[in-house]
Amino acid sequence: MKIAIGCDHAGFELKTKIIELLQNEEHHIEDFGCFSNDSVDYPDFAHPTCESIESGQNELGILICGSGNGISMAANKHQGIRAALCWEEEIAELARLHNNANVLSLPARFVSEQKALAIVKVFLANAFEGGRHERRVNKIACC
């Protein structure tokens, strides 16, 4: 699977661990930064990550910031993106099954590395159920 990943400074260390996991599972990863713990602005990394998904260059995305909120807010400005802020595996599963989420947003300061990796695995292991959920998902975009 082709996966785009991006983060701000608060998510940098967790991003490196997620990349290791994904590479070990033989996914193709495109890293949109950031590339250190130096302070940066999360939209600068959310937007190119999401543009790569909207264009079809990547299938899914993972975004990480301190709370997960800011980076998912930036991501959800894109009409083709459905970013879900997840802090539990069940939330990630339902985001894929019911909401057809195509971007996982993680709160680096509020989940352990172990929990984050488990959330990533669940997010990637599930697919949209469609059915009754499709009508609702089709109403998300405002344009």
Indicate if 98 belongs to the active site: yes
Please pick, among 98, 133, 142, 143, the residue that the annotation labels catalytic: 98
Determine the 3-state secondary structure of 31 from DSSP: strand
Indicate if 47 belongs to the active site: no
DSSP secondary structure string for all residues of 24-49: HTT-EEEE----SSS---THHHHHHH
Please pick, among 50, 65, 78, 86, the residue that the annotation labels catalytic: 65
CB-CB contact of 72 with 105 (8 Å): yes
Q: Which residues are catalytic?
A: 65, 98
